[in-house]
Amino acid sequence: MKKTKNKKDQAPQKPILTISKLHKRYNEGKPNEVHALQGVELTVRKGDMMAIMGSSGCGKTTLLNMIGHLDRRSSGEIIIDGVDTSTLSDGQMTAFRRDNIGFIFQLFNLFPFLTAVEDVETPLLLRGINSGLAREQAKMMLRELGMGDRLYHLPTELSGGQQQRVAVARALINQPAIILGDEPTGDLDSTTSSDIMDLFRRINKTNQQTLVLVTHNRWIAEKCDYIVHMTDGKISRIEDNPLAKEEKKR
Ligand SMILES: Nc1ncnc2c1ncn2[C@@H]1O[C@H](COP(=O)(O)OP(=O)(O)OP(=O)(O)O)[C@@H](O)[C@H]1O
Ligand SMILES: [Mg+2]
């Protein structure tokens, strides 16, 4: 494939996420200390769709938790959209996370007593959006995910794939700048996985939302612009995926 040296035809992409010298030690200073991240360096540009791969225990979930600020780093720097997150107070961080980051984890974590539409509208209500508007947007998002006939079902009344779609809809409804997925299509059948990956591609392309997806699945990874390989708490290699990038330009 021809390499383009002239980048003038490409939209300028600024980093949405910069990580440097990131370390995470669990049980720090104790005999059972684990050095899970050992100096991660990573720059992700706005609108990138990237996969993280690596063997079990290499630190993928730990890295996502650090990016999402669900857990404290031991040392290092994380800059999200120009904000050095170490400067934020806990309260500021909670608001920052709510407004900028969407999470999709393998365990769906749906609220057991909320219907699909109630679950998906929650992030909008938390942001103070009027309830009628929130309801309409939640319905639209669920319909887009093929859940139009399951709006008023509780999690127990939904299949695993349908529950995952609700979780995906909830993560996307706020249009967060960064979406973090830990095995976001987990154990789902290939049709549902494919639908969800298509949706990710679509929002990535149309809204320039950045996606960081941890996966063991090569097929999922190959839908992304590039694959970051991790080994023993470090990034060992970045594999470009020119085919996905070409597809995105179309
Ligand atoms: N809360 C914790 N306390 C102590 N050690 C932990 C904790 N969480 C993870 N670890 C350890 O940190 C290392 C990295 O774990 P992590 O969950 O990030 O791996 P992973 O790459 O996501 O693996 P998998 O593919 O199996 O999900 C592992 O050695 C793990 O045992
Ligand atoms: Mg993991």
- What is the residue with the minimal CA distance to atom 14 of ligand 1? 59
CA 112/CA 119 separation, integer angstroms: 9
pTM: 0.89
Q: 172 C-alpha vs ligand 2 centroid, how far in Å?
A: 21
Strands 178-182 and 101-104: parallel
Strands 34-45 and 15-26: antiparallel
Q: SS3 breakdown of the chain: % helix, strand, coil, rounded to 5?
A: 40, 25, 35
Report which bound ligand comes closest to the CA of 60: 1
Using one digit for the tens of pLDDT, what is the confidence trace for 153-163?
999 999 888 89
Domain 17-249: which CATH number of 3.20.20.80, 3.30.200.20, 3.40.50.300, 2.40.50.140 = 3.40.50.300
At 7, the pLDDT band (50, 70, 90 cuts) reads very low
CA 61/CA 183 separation, integer angstroms: 9
At 188, the pLDDT band (50, 70, 90 cuts) reads confident
Using one digit for the tens of pLDDT, what is the confidence trace for 190-233?
888 888 898 899 889 888 999 999 999 999 999 999 999 999 99
Ligand 1 probe mutation, 53, 58, 64, 106, most atoms within 8 A of CB:
58
Return the beta strands (E) in 160-209 as ranges. 178-182
